[in-house]
Structure 1
Amino acid sequence: MIRWRWGTVVAPRISWHGSVEVQVALEARRPDDPEQVRALAYPALVGTPRVGDRVLLNVNALALGLGTGGYALIVAIPDRLPDDVDVPGHVVKARYTPLQAVVLAADEEASPLRAALSDKSDISHMPVVVADLHSALPAILAGILADRPDARVAYVMTDGGALPAWFSRTLDALRPLLAGTVTTGQAFGGDLESTNVHSGLLAARHGLGADLAIVTQGPGNLGTGTEWGFSGVAAGEAVNAVAALGGRPVAAPRISDADPRPRHRGVSHHSMTAFGRVALAPADLAVPSDLPAELSLDVHGKLQKICPPHRIVTARSEDLEPALLSLPVKLSTMGRGYPQDRAYFLSAAVAGRVAASGLGAVSGLGSVSGLGEGGVGDGL
């Protein structure tokens, strides 16, 4: 189940918050092995690799040819183990795996936030944008900050993709724009840790002082090409969590006219399952009002099928392009950048704009539909 290899670090590469990438020469290579591989280490787990270190690697991702996760992962630096670090918490993540890690949850007794969180059971009408893909995160954030640059925005990372928040170079670049990151469930490495999405939302609101939150999985969506076999189904569960805590759920449907797979054209079947079958609480479905005509007809036709309980909220998107292009990260989804899939990124940015409207007057908002029996409501 794991392809193990030994190797020796031969050169440094790059590093970012929580992660170090190095070049490793493989030892006792198998017939299909390359001579050298890119390898990733999380220093908080295994220490910091140096040139000359012998390392134990997991090379499963390389064997599978994974794009997002195409690294060998350093499991240990056995000849130079890191010092023990005493953590005041007792919450274990990646539980019962060889690399299970002890973290301090934001709401446990030893946490400095315990008093602030122990009696909290709602998020005080906080708008929360929910998307299924990690690639939507920067675009949603751009949409929020374009209209409310003073807003404190928290990222609540679920555990459907990468478990270490440190893996995401996108998140590293966005750190100056965020109030902080909360890692939930089995995910870890955020500014705050939580046991589930519910406690993560409470930590974002009352621990980080967020005005808004964004919920997505980490990098590396898992999908089998079936209606239910994808990790983003948890987006629907997140909508329910937001509603249960008295927040305002804003769903960011995955919209594209560039994806070569028919099941992801228009509104992705993933969004229809997550928001149409799993999300039982009403949410605002954010949609650009200025989509190309054919795409707009397809999107509205699909989304009307899940209204009610949801409602479609439209807002202008084209004026959000400067905010998207000024982000400190390169926009990319499934290998497509902004020029190749403008509808995807502009739709995600509109979800941020719709969420920001909950903080006060926001320009560019259009109509609301899906109220009652599917009639058209007044604009925001």
Structure 2
Amino acid sequence: MAAVRREWRGSRELDVTVEARRREDPATVRALAYPALVGAPEPGDRVLLNLNALALGLGTGGYALVVAVPDRLPDDVDVPGHVVKARYTPLQAIVLAADEEASPLRGDLAGATDLGGMPVVVADLHSALPAVVAGALAAAPGARIAYVMTDGGALPAWFSRTLDGLGPLLAGTVTTGQAFGGDLESTNVHSGLLAARHGLRADLAVVTQGPGNLGTGTSWGFSGVAAGEAVNAVAALGGRPVAAPRISGADPRPRHRGVSHHSLTAFGRVALAPADLVVPADLPADLAGPVRAALAPLCPPHTLVEVPAEDLAEALAALPVRLSTMGRGFAEDRAYFLAAAAAGRHAASGLRQRGVGD
């Protein structure tokens, strides 16, 4: 290993010199290590790498990943929990679920079955998270916002520099399903929502997958289908589902222009419970018409809610993290980030009326 580039919560980014086996192999690669799983590599260490993400040219996951530091293995895991995530893989993680017997939150969660009307914003992509947070805090400053991370993208929450950068703007992160590394762990979205409400004492929650997502370009072959299932979970637990459609005026792919087909499938076919379907009231005219036309068949059961969003640009600019989706920033895809912020504003509007965060 040549050098440590930088670190953030749960991750260490490295420059690694590669022992080339083929002429086309790079001389050095950018690599990522999760010290809790593999130990903390230092300059001069030998490391075993997985180069698959680099070979595929993945944008979000374009790192070599450290599998092991063979000459300096980490200490044995000493965790009071017995929940296993990334199960039956070489790097399976042992975690303490928020609601299991050894957890200090067991008493709060053992009998918890209801969200008590808590608003929950459900979005497709991880990149929507900071924009939703900005919109919510603009409506209810000081509100306690929890992030419930599903396992459709990255499994380790540590991969997300966005989470590290949002810091005190979040009450905490709950990693659900096979995802791990949050402030609290849960076995599924339902228990994750309850952990957010009763463990993190959240006023509002945001549900999205971790960084990255899987898609085959087909109608049903994408990880964002889980957004519709999350709407159902929120309703089943007595929460208030707020759906944030993926809207873009800049995506070069027709299936994601206007309202993404991901949102139309997740909220139109998978979500059986009604939700507030939020769109910016001030979209450009050439985008507003197609967006409304695409979402009209989803209402009912959903309710289309138009929320002013252009004035949220200042709140988005003030975020401590960089906005980016599919390589596009706010200037390149205003509609995407303003749509997510509008959903956050709408979800938190009731909190403001109740005095939360005042």
Letter of the 2:63 partner, please give it.
Y
Match of 2:337 in 1: 345
In structure 2, the residue matched to 1:107 is: 99
The alignment status of 1:357 with 2:349, answered yes or no, reads: yes
Whether the 8 Å CA contact 1:19–1:42 is kept in 2: the answer is: yes
Shift of 1:265: 0.9
Tell me which residue corresponds to 1:262: 254
CA distance in structure 1 between the aligned counterparts of 2:132 and 2:20, rounded to whole angstroms: 46
The share of aligned pairs that are identical, in percent, is: 78
1:116 aligns with 2:108: yes
Amino acid at match of 1:199: S
Contact 2:47/2:70 (<8 A) preserved: yes
Q: Which has the higher strand share?
A: 1
The aligned counterpart of 2:192 is: 200
- Equivalent pairs, count: 354
Q: Does 1:130 align with 2:147?
A: no
Q: Render the CA deviation track for 1:54-90: whole Å, top value 9, x for unaligned.
A: 0110000010011110000000001101112310000
Q: Is the 8 A contact 2:31 2:66 kept in 1?
A: yes
Partner residue, 2:221: 229
Secondary structure class of the residue paired with 2:47:
strand
Where structure 1 has 5 or more consecutive residues not aligned to the other structure, the ranges are 1-8, 363-380
Query: Is 1:155 matched up with 2:143?
Result: no
Q: After TM superposition, give the deviation of residue 28 of structure 1 in Å.
A: 3.9
Query: Does 2:19 align with 1:27?
Result: yes
Q: Which structure 2 residues correspond to residues 254-293 of structure 1 after superposition, within 5 A?
A: 254-293=246-285
Selected match of 2:180 from 180, 188, 191:
188
Give the TM-score, by structure 1 length. Answer: 0.92
**Equivalent pair of 1:29/1:35 in contact (CA under 8 Å):** no
SS of 2:306's equivalent in the other structure is strand
Give the whole-Å Cα distance in 1 for the aligned partners of 2:263 and 2:99: 32
Q: What is aligned with 1:41?
A: 33
Give the distance between the partners of 2:253 and 2:20, measured in 1 at CA: 40
- Cα distance in 2 for partners of 1:20, 1:360 equals 39
User: What secondary structure, in the 3-state scheme, does the structure 2 residue paired with 1:336 have?
Assistant: coil
Q: Distance in 1 between matches of 2:201 and 2:161?
A: 24
Q: Give me the whole-angstrom Cα distance separating, in 1, the residues matched to 2:47 and 2:142.
A: 45
**Does the Cα contact within 8 Å between 2:120 and 2:239 map onto a contact in 1?**
yes
Which SS does the other structure have where 1:333 is aligned?
A: coil
Structure 1 stretch 19-28 or stretch 159-168: which is displaced more?
19-28
- After superposing on structure 2, the runs of 4+ consecutive aligned residues of structure 1 that deviate more than 2 Å are none
CA drift at 1:359? 1.4
Gaps of 5+ in 2: none
Deviation of residue 292 (structure 1)? 1.0
Aligned counterpart for 1:304 among listed residues 296, 301, 304: 296
Task: Summarize deviations over 1:164-212 as a string: whole Å, max 9, x none.
Answer: 0000001110121100000000000000000000000000000000000
d(CA) in 1 for partners of 2:25, 2:297: 50
Q: Give the structure 2 partner of residue 18 of structure 1.
A: 10
TM-score (norm 2): 0.98
CA contact (8 A) 2:140 2:352 kept: no
**Residue pair 2:77, 2:94 contacting (<8 A) in 1 also:** no
